[in-house]
Amino acid sequence: MTIFGGVSVGYMGKILRVNLSDKSIKIEDLDENLAKNFIGGRGLGVKVIYDEVPPGTHPLSEENKIVVATGPLTGTKAVESGRYCTVTKSPLTGTMHDSHSGGTFGFWLKRSGFDAIIIEGKSDTPVYLLTDNGKAEIKDAGHLWGKTVFEASDALEAEYKPCGIACIGPAGEKLSKIGCIVNEKWRAAGRGGHGAVLGSKKLKAIVSRGDQKPEIKNAAKFDEAVKEARSIISENPVTGQALPDYGTAVLVNILNELGAYPTRNFQTGVFEGAEPTSGEAIAEKILVEKKGCWGCEIQCGRWSKVKNIEAEGPEYETTWSFGADCGVDDLEAIFMSHHLCNEYGLDAIEMGTTIATAMELYQRGYLPEEIKWGDAEAIKDLVEKTGTREGIGDWLAEGSYRLAERFGAPHLFMGVKKQALPAYDPRGVKGHALNYATSNRGGCHLRAYLIAPEVLSLPELIDRFATEGKAQWVIIFQDLFAAVDSAVICKFTTFAIGAPQIADMLAGATGWDITAEDVMKIGERIYTLERAFNAREGFSRKDDYLPKRFLEEPMPEGPSKGHVVPLDEMLDDYYELRGWVDGVPTPEKLKELGL
């Protein structure tokens, strides 16, 4: 069920600036020169946060800002363009941090007349923000504070429908560093604790509605570009078949068969319970129907039913984080854990991996609480405790790194820059390992997705265990993805299309003369500016690390057996190709990119 489709909305040309301290609201013109250099979405947000958030700002302080942004392709008929992103200094990582979500909210924000919202300051009392046909209003949210995502969404929808709603749950309100922003109840800008940033500002929700539609600048060119992209995507085996048929969890069996499916907090890469928790099992056992975001034909989303609960999900990452990573092979239990995360507004990757860390902490005698591998009932209880910050949940709410550190075993944190790794064991995919290490926002599969060439043969198959040449692959993916996140469209399109098609769609929508090379250069500019922000905060090569487990403990079994990650050699290559020294961009590189 595609939710909407077909309406063309490019740039609105308007940025909404909302200060929650003095309750001021300003509407600023989008600077076209800035847009040409950063496109929109992630790029726009990164530029604003770099320029306006001073070094050393605490992520949960009044001085931090958060940008909620769409791009020129958002809500157009361009492929998979129903998304939005939020950019802020993350309370989880302390880095520049962008988080993305699908659904319909991006479409509605654009329709309400704004390309982006810059949220500043901090309210003393709970509020929500309404953007409505070119106007905005800060409204009292006293009645919504303390409510779950579902309760708050239902209440706001009843008042404003049709509209888009992005809100936080109790986790964000309670400043959980793994609290996220959820839109349409089941879609989340999940990672990095952006929900806590809204919570610290006492902003419960953003409601957007309207019917504003700017023109597409070169409609003929745009239509042709979109048509070509759609055709390529529908013919691609991943976007045209695997993802629609089995959802993202189609990867479960694939990664497990390569021995790179992280199991029990990455102690091994082979999970005995993969099959019953795979995308195929979801399709067979609990799937009601496929579901897509606004304007999306891939339809990787799942609408599932377990007992009397119908909900979206689970995705590959949650299937893993609450499954293999915690030693759970019960699909219904995984579905419920995921569902609870949406209710409380918790990042389902970080929640599952944090519980997995707790389980290994218990296994190795660091944690007094008995939390055993595979105990699905305990997991449900722990998610609830995390949402309300009760007992041990008060520490789980801080994420895996801080939990492991609290109990004196930071080496059991499986992540980078305090953000947990997702569902690919780096020992089995060496290029992906380098991407993990050099990610600007911490452990992440969405800065670059080397799984495409290393596993899925897209655009071609490369040796997953080799290290040579991987730095160049990682850089290309990182730069391309930065541009894609700024367009804003879904990264899954890049299984099929690349910079040329994206450039054509952007050229059509904006009227600019923009080439594939420009797209890649813009991506590099954004990635480098993020890196410069992090460097300003003290990050350097020392932070581009992987947990020792991956460097020193060979994979114990399976098809990746014996492998570790020779990180340093790849890192040297990477920095040289990037024009960085010890992880920090040189002044020459910044100048070359006009930064």
CA distance 353 to 421: 8
Instruction: For the CB of residue 175, give the shortest distance to its own copies in the complex, in Å.
Output: 5
**Near its own copies in 344-383, by CB under 8 A:** 365
Of the residues 13, 25, 52, 61, which one makes contact with its own copies according to CB under 8 A: 61
- Triad 490, 578, 436: Cα angle to 5°: 50
Residue 213 binds its own copies (CB under 8 A): no
Of the residues 134, 146, 410, 511, which one makes contact with its own copies according to CB under 8 A: 410
Residue closer to its own copies by CB (options 202, 305) is 202
Instruction: For the CB of residue 139, give the shortest distance to its own copies in the complex, in Å.
Output: 21
Of the residues 407, 436, 449, 550, which one makes contact with its own copies according to CB under 8 A: 407
Helix H or strand E encompassing 311: strand 309-312
CA distance 539 to 136: 37
Instruction: For the CB of residue 498, give the shortest distance to its own copies in the complex, in Å.
Output: 37
In three-state form (DSSP H/G/I as H, E/B as E, the rest C), the secondary structure along 269-294 is: CCCCCCHHHCHHHHHHHCEEEEECCC
Residue 540 binds its own copies (CB under 8 A): yes
Residue 574 binds its own copies (CB under 8 A): no
Compute how many other C-beta atoms are within 10 angstroms of the C-beta atom of residue 220. 9
Residue closer to its own copies by CB (options 174, 302) is 174
Residue 60 binds its own copies (CB under 8 A): yes
Residue closer to its own copies by CB (options 264, 536) is 536
Residue 388 binds its own copies (CB under 8 A): no
Of the residues 23, 26, 58, 143, which one makes contact with its own copies according to CB under 8 A: 58
Site string for its own copies, 123-142 (x = CB under 8 A): -x------------------
Cis peptide before 559 (omega within 30 of 0): no
Residue 56 binds its own copies (CB under 8 A): yes
Residue 409 binds its own copies (CB under 8 A): yes
Residue 398 binds its own copies (CB under 8 A): yes
Residue closer to its own copies by CB (options 322, 539) is 539
Nearby residues of 236 by Cβ (< 8 Å), 6 or more positions away: 458, 495, 496
Residue 52 binds its own copies (CB under 8 A): no
Of the residues 179, 199, 214, 262, which one makes contact with its own copies according to CB under 8 A: 199
CA distance 62 to 20: 9
Q: Is 116 exposed, middle or buried (0-12, 13-18, 19+ CB in 10 A)?
A: buried
Of the residues 51, 411, 461, 577, which one makes contact with its own copies according to CB under 8 A: 411
Closest CA to 327 of 381, 386, 268: 268
Amino acid symbol at 156 = L
CA distance 216 to 381: 50
Residue closer to its own copies by CB (options 385, 521) is 385
Residue 3 binds its own copies (CB under 8 A): no
Closest CA to 319 of 307, 308, 304: 304
Task: Give the tokens for residue 283.
Answer: 């399709």
Query: Does residue 189 contact residue 475 with C-beta atoms inside 8 Å?
Result: no
Sign of the torsion angle spanned by Cα atoms 27, 32, 37, 40: positive
Residue 406 binds its own copies (CB under 8 A): yes
**Near its own copies in 441-480, by CB under 8 A:** none
Of the residues 196, 359, 421, 570, which one makes contact with its own copies according to CB under 8 A: 196
Residue closer to its own copies by CB (options 43, 547) is 547
CA 487 to centroid of chain Cα atoms = 15
Amino acid symbol at 227 = K
CA distance 262 to 356: 11
Of the residues 79, 127, 175, 522, which one makes contact with its own copies according to CB under 8 A: 175
Residue 408 binds its own copies (CB under 8 A): yes
Task: Give the tokens for residue 58.
Answer: 């605490």
CA distance 217 to 445: 34
| Residues lying near its own copies in the complex (CB under 8 A) | 55-56, 58, 60-62, 124, 175, 196, 199-200, 365, 394-395, 398, 405-411, 536-540, 542-543, 545
